[in-house]
């Protein structure tokens, strides 16, 4: 199964670069405003779509998804519940 992820980043750039650029643009938009909790915000912004995409790819097979993600099935279920993806 082929999956295409479209981000505002230039095609063929790596994921780290995309995260860097998107975070940089976000910070620029804040124009010096006080920032708190950015780590948690970024993790949630990345984790939810990642989990959803993996679950689509494996047709909701939690064992396969956990294996792909390198998580225990229990941890995966906890994260899926956290993001209302069950």
Let me know if residue 31 belongs to a domain.
yes
* Angle of CA points 52, 56, 61, to nearest 5°: 100
pTM over 0.85: no
Let me know if residue 9 belongs to a domain.
no
Here the CATH number for the domain that contains residue 78 is: 1.10.10.60
Let me know if residue 49 belongs to a domain.
yes
* Residue 28 belongs to domain spanning: 15-82
d(CA 60, CA 85): 10
Number of domains in the chain: 1
The pLDDT averaged over each successive group of 10 residues in the chain (86 residues) is 45 76 89 88 92 96 96 97 94
Let me know if residue 56 belongs to a domain.
yes
């Amino acid at each position: 199964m082929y999956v295409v992820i479209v981000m505002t980043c230039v095609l063929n750039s790596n994921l780290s670069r995309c995260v860097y650029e998107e975070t940089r643009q976000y910070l620029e938009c804040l124009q010096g405003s006080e920032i708190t909790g950015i780590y948690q915000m970024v993790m949630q912004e990345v984790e939810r779509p990642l989990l959803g995409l993996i679950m689509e790819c494996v047709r909701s097979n939690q064992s396969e998804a956990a294996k792909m993600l390198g998580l225990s099935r229990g941890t995966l279920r906890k994260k899926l519940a956290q993001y209302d993806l069950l």
